[in-house]
Structures are given as C-alpha cells and as structure tokens.
Amino acid sequence: MSALAEIEQEIESLLMQPPYGGVPQQRRSVLLALLKKELAYACDRNPSFRNYVEHWPVDFRVADKISDLPYLPVGVFKTNPPLALVDADNVKRTLTSSATTGQTPSRVVLDAATAKRMAKGVITIIRDFIGAARRPYLVIDTPENLTAQAELGARGAAIQGLSSFATEIVCCLRTGQEGDSSLDVEKLLACAAKWKHADVLVYGFTYVIWTHLVEPLRRQGITLDIPNVRVLHSGGWKRLEQQAVTRDEFSRGVASIFGCSSDRILDFYGMVENVGVIYPDCDHGNKHVPAFAEIIVRNPLTLAPIKIGEQGLIQVCSVLPTSFPGFLLLTEDLAEVIGWDKCPCGRRGATFRFVGRLSKAEVRGCGNLEAARYQQGHGIGVA
Amino acid sequence: MSDLIQSVDSPQTIACAARRLREIVQQKEIVPEAVLDIFDQWAAAMDDPGLREVPGVAFLRLWLRRGNLEPILLRELGPNSLNGGWREDGRAKLRAFPLGVVGHWPAGNIEIQPVLSLTCALLGGNACIVRVPSRLVSITGQVMEKLEEVDRTGLLIDRIVMASFDHSRMDLHEAMAQAVDGAMIWGGAEAVSQLRGLPFPHWARLLVFGPRVSAAAMDAETWGDRTERFSWCRRIARDVWQFDQQACSSPQALFLERGAGCDPKEFVEDLRQAFQEENRQHPRGEIEPALTSSISQARASWLLGNAENSALFPASPDWTILLGTGTKMPSPTQGRTLTVLEVDDLLEVVSNFDGALQTLGLGVRDAQKEERLVQAAGRRGLDRVVKVGRMHVFSSPWDGTELIRSMVRVVRHVPSRDC
C-alpha cells in the first residue's frame, strides 16, 4: 500500500468515529502517529516544505508530542502559487480566505479527496451539535455563493459546507446593480410563513447577519417567528466590535428576529486553511476539538503550550488535508484554554474560548520601515 | 517617581504650558556651561541600581558627561560657545540663540529617547515639551527624578514639560505642534508620516530621525579567521540584542563576503552560540504576540521560499538566524531575527543601499577596502559606518545631522558703526 493510501485509510477511520467521544490521551497518540506519516509524505512531495521541516529544532520522526511537530504560520498560504502537495492538474478547487481590504487572502488548494474529507469533517461536527436530520436551509447571503466555482471564498465554502443538511435552500439576500447586497424581505417572509413550525437551519457571516438581516428587519419592526431555527454564524467579530455590538447583544438581536431562544444561535470559529474543522460553541460557551484534529495554544513569549486559564496563540492541527501542508498551523488568533477534558456538555478533549485576532504591534520603532518597501522583488517578504 | 510627567487631556493645557516656557526662554538665558554642569551631576546620579538594567541608561550616562558633550558643543557651535559668547567671523560676529520651545516626539521602543532628545535642545538653551509614549512613562519618570535631585534651583526643570497622552489624540499632537518653534521627531514610518503633517508654525524647524534600518558586513579575512570569529559573533549578537533589534541602528542583515576556505555554515554555528549566550544573559521578559507571529512567518517564508536557504532557531521566538545568498537588504523582521547573506563583493551590497539605510557595521581587515566601502556607502545615503559591536554607540552628528546646532539659530551681527 502506498504511503498516501495508508494515510487516507487512517483518516477515514478517524472520520467514522464519534467526533468528541474518545479518551483524549488515546486520541492524541493516534493523531501523533498519523501526523508524522503526513509530514513524511509532505516532505516527499514538496522540497520547500522538506527544507522547512529539516530545519525545525525537533526531528519530527522522534517527537513524542504533537506540540513538538513542525508547524507553519498561516501566513505562508498567502503566497502565489499556493503551497501545494499535488500537481496543478489535480487541484479541484482553491479556497480563499476573507481578507479585508488591502490584505492578501490565503489560498489553499484542494484535490478531490481533500475536498470530500472537508465536507465530511464539517458534517460530522455540525451533526453533533444540531442532529443529522435534513431541514430547510436559509442562507443569509446571495445565491452567487452557492454556485460551484474553481475558486471559492470563505463565505461560499461555509455556505456550501452546510448544504448537505438541506432539504431546500433559500438565499435571502439579492445583489443590486452596483454589486451591493440587500435583503429580499418578501422572499424571507414567504419562507418564514412556510417554515413556521419546521426545524430550520440558518447560516450567514456574523456581520452579514447583523447588517443585512437584523438591522433592516428591526428598522421595519418585522419578526420572523420561526422558533425551531438553528442559526449558525462565523467569520469573526471585528466589524461588529467596531460598531460596538457585543456577542450577547448579537445573540439577543438575532433571537428576537427569529422568535427563538438565544441558545439556538451558534457561533463557530474556523478558517479556510484548517479545512474540514470548525469549532462551534457548546451550551457552556466552550469550543471543542474533533477526533481528527487537535488544538494547541502557545505562549507568545516561549511558543510553548500554555496552561489552563492562560491565553496564547492558537495552533490548529488537522489530519484531513493531503493536498496542501495544512496539518499543523499557527494562526493569528488568540484563545484561552478552559480545560483538557470533561466539559459539562459531555464532549471530550481540549476546550478553549476564542479571545480575538492578533492586534497590530503598537511599538513600531524607529527601525520599522513600511514592509511593502522590501516586499517587491526580493522574494523574502510575504505579500 | 517624578511627577514631572503630566497626563494631558486638553489642548489648552499644552498651549498654556508652551506660553510659560516661551516666557522663560525669552527672559532667562542659560549658557551651555551651566547645562553641562547639571548634566554631569545628572549622569553621576543615574549610577543607581534601579536604573542600571534600563536599556540605554549606560549610554545616556556616557552621553551626558562633560567630557563627551563639550567637544561636540565646541565643534557644532564654535569656540566661545560654552559661555554664550560671540565669535568673530570677518567683520561680523556669530552667536547661537535658542529656537525657543522645542517639541519632542520620541519613539516608543527606545527607553531613553524622551530624555536623550530633550538634552539636545536644552544644550541649545531651549525649553522643551516632550510627549512621552505610554510605555515609557515609568522609565522616563525614574530618569527625570534624578535630574530633579541635582537641579535644585530648577534651572533646567523649569524649562521642561513632559506630557503623556494617547498616540491617537490628534488634537493634542496638533496643539503641541502649533506651540513649538522646533521639533525633534523619532520613530517608525507610520508615526513619522503622521507627525510631519502636523500644523507646525511655518518657521518651525523639524528634525526627523527614522525610520531607517541598518546592516552589518564583513570581509572574508575577518569572518573566516577562526581565532577571531567567535568574538565577532559576540559583537554582532550585542548589536542585535540591544533594543530588541527595533532601533534604526539595529542590524537586520549581515553580509559575508565569500572567501576561499571560508564556510558560512561554520560561521553561523559560532553565531548561534553567541546568540544563545546573549539570550541567556538578556532573556526577553515579554513580547507582543504580533512579533511572535512575524518571527514564525519570517522563518517559514525564508525556508519555503528557497530550498537552498537554511536557518537556525530554537523552538521559542528568542532568536533566529536565516542563512542564504543575496546582495539586497531583506525585509526587516526585528525581534532578534538576523538574515546572514553570502555575497561575492561587499561593494555590490553597498551599491544597493539607499537613504533607508542608516548605519553600516563593518568588520573589514583591509583598510583600503574599508575606505572604498565607506566612500560608496556615503554616496548611497548612509550616515554612519562603525565597527560591528558598536552600532548603537551614537555621537553627533546623529543620522548625518548636528543635534545641537539644528536646534539653535546662529545670529549674525554686522556692527552698524564703521571701523
């Protein structure tokens, strides 16, 4: 059996298990062994990646902890062409992150097998939170994000990732002539009337739900009265923080529009580079890690894993991708570790809470020229 | 701690303070000789266990000594300047007078910069308003407390207002700019660009330091000498460690000229030891998570960008050595990340420099070669060329500018009566 086939078989086996059920120690041991095989495979496939791994202070082949394995900062996926382990011919889809204006988005390439695993990973996780039943799916976005595209943004990926839970899909935003989005109130009210007593799945980016659904409906004094709704949202809080909208206020606002309780609003953390893994809040406000993934929170001063109650940089680990080296990624986000096991919700493994994005360093210093100055033509700076 | 640093919240407070300072400057003249006396005592008072570990205080003590400043004053302001006398210039006479009130905007990353900046203006007889960055309020307060101890008559203290306010308060920055006759601005690109645009009076003289970067370079005879190599590595480590590599004089790259039998991998092994040693002696107490992220990014980009590149670094973000080839300045990462580049000819490196480069630290055995490098560097915009290990040892001229003379007006008097 080839190295890749062996890896694929082991990933499939992990995907078949209950996502939050295993004994953490055993889970980590299985993951460590599989991640080592994936690193060896990636080194064979990509000489640049091999160069990085060979310079890592710990030889991954003898590492006895996942936290000792070589990890990449997520920023490396901002390069063009994207960092890949497959030939261009085998790339089925490229996912791009939702970079804000002026930033370069991350790009990760998926082959058919990784794309399939991505879908499976998301379904496994979401099923654990909302159940396996299919239901009407209301998308707080425009229909363009539902179309199959070779290059897919984070919003499109999240929307399409949930489509397997749908009996029917309705997008309630429409695109205007100038490319702006607005709420199609008539369509939305028709859905609300039709789905009044049904279990309904709703998804949208956090700020899109607030600015394109909650605010306009509030202004018009409209509520939807779909009490059995499950509203999933992601994409970060930066824009709402700028508008001084707190998480509580958001949940209450969304709940009042749908006529449901606030606990039916589910925030999840995720990123395109960590394909197939998302981290929804449980009923106790904690985030959990599925069997095919792990999370390490590192002290910025030492990069060593932190203790319970401390905050640090999030490293996400996932065995799912084989088309790009996204197994072990240091993010630009901060989290607090809540515990290593036994959350009151019953899910096992590490629990954490998202704290926020890294803020720009305040101390710039007299030696800090604009980075852009050196990024042209030197091949060193990452755009 | 000194209560000299006031938390300021209104533009009126700054305007009032500036009016009071201007009156003092116009009514009470101080000569450099008197300032030097107090500075000398101040330097002695700073020999305090509580201040010894503050980065840059050792330099500040040396800077303030009469033996250091007197020659600078004489060179910049001429003979007789110490007592405020006039000097002959043909039929005319020349004498330095203060600009008036000088505003100081130091960078937030150099602990001693608020104090260093104001000393230059005080030597010219000026009064000063200093905006103290929030991170430096405590340290600056400790240093200023020592000045208060020695300046019992308030000769200098009365001429100083230190203001602390958030960097985003543009109304306060503007009030400060409108109230001054001169400004000394230090900092990174973003800060400097913003401060340059403030509404200064049209006569105000602006002195801007930074943003700049620096590099070091060594010829093969120097870095290839196994007996001397480690001591050179120690010097480089010192230059990298000071100010956490965030100063404009901090080396971001080290260029090694190729030589027969010289292996850069051997050199960086010694450099690794020197970095480890320096890190043991001066470990970081804190780090901004954003810098940790940048360091991780720099390591990965370097090694992924070219499979021929190599690197040495620990699991922590404590230090990083990136080894490769190339004659151009790499993107600065800071945070003790040194890019070591092998080159055929150091002159080719210098020919790529421009005004963004401030200091070149050199280790060159051949004096003629060094002379050629310095000439070329001067033409390409560099202001300082010093020995590796002394890249942060500044004197005037500073960034190619005379510090004290820039904050005075030299008045020319041609007598009205015929001789």
CB contact under 8 A, B317 and A301: yes
- The ipTM (two decimal places) reads 0.90
Q: What is the pLDDT of residue B2?
A: 58
Q: What is the pLDDT of residue A148?
A: 72
pLDDT over 60 (residue A253): yes
Residue A184 belongs to what H/E stretch? none
pLDDT band at B12 (very low <50, low <70, confident <90, very high): very high
* Phi, psi dihedrals of residue A204, rounded to the nearest 5°: -165, 160
Q: What is the mean pLDDT of chain B?
A: 94
- As a whole number of angstroms, the distance between CA A85 and CA A91 comes to 10
In tens, the pLDDT along B343-379 reads 999 999 999 999 999 999 999 999 999 999 999 999 9
Q: What is the pLDDT of residue A304?
A: 98
Fold type of domain B5-210+399-413: Aldehyde Dehydrogenase; Chain A, domain 1 (3.40.605)
Q: What is the pLDDT of residue A365?
A: 59
pLDDT over 90 (residue A105): no
pLDDT over 90 (residue A276): yes
3-class state of residue A51 by DSSP: helix
Q: What is the pLDDT of residue A376?
A: 35
Contacts of A83 in chain B (CB under 8 A): 304
In tens, the pLDDT along A156-194 reads 888 988 999 999 999 999 988 888 889 999 999 999 999
pLDDT over 90 (residue B209): no
**A71-359 maps to which CATH number?**
3.40.50.12780
Mean pLDDT within B219-247? 94
> For residues B349 and B343, is the Cβ–Cβ distance under 8 A?
yes
In tens, the pLDDT along B270-324 reads 999 999 999 999 999 989 999 999 999 999 999 999 999 999 999 999 999 999 9
- As a whole number of angstroms, the distance between CA A165 and CA B338 comes to 51
Q: What is the pLDDT of residue B391?
A: 94
**Cβ–Cβ contact B106 with A under 8 A:** no
- As a whole number of angstroms, the distance between CA A185 and CA A220 comes to 10
pLDDT over 90 (residue A69): yes
CB contact under 8 A, A364 and B289: no
- As a whole number of angstroms, the distance between CA B35 and CA B88 comes to 24
CA nearest A184: which of A141, A152, A153?
A141
CB contact under 8 A, B304 and A76: yes
pLDDT over 80 (residue B418): no
pLDDT over 50 (residue A379): no
Residues 267-286 of B with CB under 8 A from A: 284, 286
CB contact under 8 A, B250 and A83: no
In tens, the pLDDT along A131-158 reads 999 999 999 999 988 787 777 888 888 8
Residues of chain B with pLDDT > 90: what percent? 83
pLDDT band at B393 (very low <50, low <70, confident <90, very high): confident
3-class state of residue B253 by DSSP: strand
Q: Which residue on chain B is closest to A52 by alpha carbon?
A: B303
In tens, the pLDDT along A336-354 reads 999 988 899 999 999 999 9
Closest Cα in chain A, distance from residue B65 (Å): 25
pLDDT over 80 (residue B56): yes
CB pairs under 8 A between A and B: 177
pLDDT band at A100 (very low <50, low <70, confident <90, very high): low
Residue from B265, B316, B339, B354 whose CB has the most chain A CBs within 10 Å, to mutate: B316
> For residues B21 and B30, is the Cβ–Cβ distance under 8 A?
no
Which listed CATH number (3.40.309.10, 3.40.50.11540, 3.40.50.2000, 1.10.3720.10) goes with B213-387?
Answer: 3.40.309.10
Contacts of B326 in chain A (CB under 8 A): 378
Range scoring the smallest mean pLDDT among A96-105, B165-174, B321-330: A96-105
pLDDT band at A372 (very low <50, low <70, confident <90, very high): very low
pLDDT over 70 (residue A375): no
pLDDT over 70 (residue A362): no
Mean pLDDT within A310-336? 96
pLDDT over 50 (residue A374): no
